[in-house]
Chains A and B, each alone.
Chain A
Amino acid sequence: MALTSIVTGAVYRLLLASQRFSRAQLSQLSLQTNVRSGSIAALNEFRELGTVTAGSADQNDILGVTASGITYRAARGLGFLCQPPNANRLQIARGSFSGYRDPQATRDVAYVFLDGAPDTEADDSWLGLPVVDVATGATCPGSMGAGLTLTTSGAVPPDLPAGTPIRIYEVMELRSYQSEGRSWLGARSAGTGENIQPVSGPLADPDGFRLEYLDAAGVPTSDLTAIKGIRIAVHAIGEDSLSPLSGARVEEELVSAVTLRNGFRR
């Protein structure tokens, strides 16, 4: 009887310790997944942004920044005209379109490349036209196959040749926000006015998601047109705020940086 009691007690303590260890391990794993997914989401969104130092609003994809959030034109795809535009209709060869998703009416804007004088790049520009309708019924001329027809709210220059690049973007907001008493990293399509959706979290308060905007020399800048890189810090806390093993606060921070690929020629 005494031996059974001793063994049962020892087994109980062993089980308790093992369970605490497992919970602590799972909490740490969940935390690492959390910070990594938050960082990757931000890096992928920011990589394609373009800025032109001292350029116009149309030339700059970063629309507003704070230390814990950013509003920007997020690239969603690229395609090429399969024939010259007709009034306000752009027809893209379906096979040429490569994107994170298909274009969506009222959510996306089409950037149309205007070549200007062909022997100089000085007058090259991108014309932004809101997409009001997307249709897939019409086919492209010749053997180019299915088409993707975008109707825009503005007039398209009629002399654009087939092959002209069309970039699709949407205005997005990525920032930390509060929900149920905790901080989260969230994203929303700002153009549609949708509610913010969680990307990762919970984050540490008050600075679980920090952004630092860097110029070409890697120095922090507040000039939106001079931003050429972004440093991203994601500081997450565990679902169990204290470690079941040590009693210490469970937290992890991952700092990463991205160079804006379209920010360096001008």
Chain B
Amino acid sequence: MALPVALFALIVIGALVAGTFFAGRLEQQSGQNSFFAAQAAEAAEAGLAETVADPAAAALETLPIGGPPADLGVLGLGDGITVHRQVSRLTTTLFIIRATGVRRDPAGTPLATRSAGLLVRLVASPAGSTGLAPLPERAWVQLY
């Protein structure tokens, strides 16, 4: 009699432990996904900042209005994190930079992707060079 009772208890405890382990695993993965998403979002931010700081911005003057975007390529930020940047010309003075940050696993499979945009205009410095400057208000955009 004692043996069946003990076996029954072991089965029930095993089920409880398995349930707890499963819930814990879900929670751990959920937290990790939030972390990957944050890494991808920061990569997109870095892509925007890098593009604004790029002195080659003057070349954008030749972009056609409403035409296809200029592809500025992919930047590697280490640890499986990359950012892809594009610039489109909206009007004679206005451009939008789109940056898509991706966090990948070691096999190259994307774990999280986030995109952000920045509305910018071409500005001439007093020294005569041309650069990009974000609009003074509401320049940053969350893209989906």
Contacts and interface: CB of A to CB of B under 8 A. Distances in A.
Contacts of B90: 80, 163-165
Given A22-B16, A265-B136, A11 B141 contact: no
Contacts of B144: 77, 98-100
A94 to B, nearest CB: 14
Given A8-B5, A78-B141, A165-B90, A36 B23 contact: no
Contacts of A75: 141-142
B5 A7 contact: yes
B5 A163 contact: no
A142 to B, nearest CB: 9
Interface of A: 3-4, 7-8, 11, 14-15, 18-19, 21-22, 25-26, 29, 32-33, 36, 40, 44, 47-48, 50, 52, 59, 75, 77-78, 80, 98-100, 111, 113, 115, 118-119, 121, 124-126, 161-165, 167, 261-262, 265-266
B140 A262 contact: yes
B13 A52 contact: no
A16 B81 CA distance: 47
B19 interface: yes
A25 B91 contact: no
Chain A binding site: helix, strand, loop or mixed by DSSP?
mixed
A164 B96 CA distance: 11
Contacts, number: 122
Given A50-B137, A52-B137, A113-B119, 10 more contacts: A8-B2, A15-B13, A18-B17, A29-B26, A36-B34, A78-B117, A165-B96, A262-B140, A265-B136, A265-B139
A21 B34 contact: no
Contacts of B91: 115, 161-164
Q: Which residue of A11, A47, A80, A164 has the most chain B CB atoms within 10 A of its CB atom?
A: A11
Contact of B94 (A44, A77, A125, A163): A163
B138 A262 contact: yes
